[in-house]
Structure formats: structure tokens, C-alpha cells
Amino acid sequence: MNDLVGKAALVTGGSRGIGAAIAQVLAERGADVAITYRHSAEQARSVVRRIEAAGRQGRALQADSADPQAVRAAVNQVGNAFGRLDILVNNAGVFPSGPPEAVTLAELKSTLAIHVMAAFVAAQTALPQMKDKGCIVSIGSCLAHRVQPAVSRSMP
């Protein structure tokens, strides 16, 4: 399928896991794809190599999703690099581990910054760049099946 030829995408948190898989599929379907990463530069370069092996342009942008300015800058860099932005996938995420009563307020603040604020800031920045019809996908959670047992154990 080449139904995304001529489209440009950004996948936040695209250096591994679900984000890397999404970036690969977008490239295989014809999109040029940029990904953001926080620490894993080598993993990000590996994803870009796979995007380029699919015949598409790839970019890896270091951006901490907890920093709204970094999120805005990454979205703008994609628009500048590819000349457009058609697809935004808000995938970056973190999850404090352990029982809910052990989660600190700092961990909660970071989680909300990455899962909620970053997705909003990325969408807010991307919308003016989406020339025709655009698509914004926000991944809610990949850990729900892991959270439920921990919550059940802590309930009386």
C-alpha cells in the first residue's frame, strides 16, 4: 500500500515499541516520518534507517515530551524539514511503576506533562501546519492490562 505517498508524519516517542512500529508502518505506506526520542539516540537512528530502507525520508528529533517548548520545536522542525505535516501520532509516554500509593507527586506531574500537556501542545502546534485534511492520533495507554492487577491488589 502506498496510500500515504506525499504525506509527512510525526510520531512522538517513536524510537522503540509501539511508536517505532507505527513509524515503520507509516513509512511502508509511503509517508515521510519523523520521530521524537528522549534518551535513546541509537534506537532512534535505527528506526530512521528502517524508514529510509522503505524509501522514505526519516528524521530523529531529540525532544523531552515533558518540555512544552521542546514539543513545539519538534513539531515545527517536521513542518520545516518535510514542507508539511499531515499526521501526528502522540505516542510518547511514561508510567510510574509500583502500587498507586507509592507514586510520588513528581512522578504524577511528569506523567501528566507527557501524556496530557505534550499531546495538547503537539496538536495545537500541528493544526496550523496541516494544509489539507490532517490526522491526529493520541495513544491512551499500552499498560492498562498491567495497571489493573496492581490496583486490584491494593483495594480491600
pLDDT for the residue numbered 95: 78
> Which tens digit of pLDDT belongs to each residue from 70-98?
999 999 999 999 999 999 999 998 877 78
Write the CA distances from 88 to 18, 59, 74, 102, integer angstroms.
Answer: 14, 14, 11, 33
pLDDT higher at 122 or 149: 122
Return the percentage of the chain with pLDDT > 90, whole number.
Answer: 77
pLDDT for the residue numbered 127: 96
Mark out the alpha helices in the chain (DSSP H runs).
17-28, 41-53, 68-82, 105-112, 118-126, 144-154
pTM of the model: 0.87
Q: Which domains are seen in the chain, by residue range?
A: 8-154 (3.40.50.720)
Q: Is the pLDDT of residue 3 over 70?
A: yes
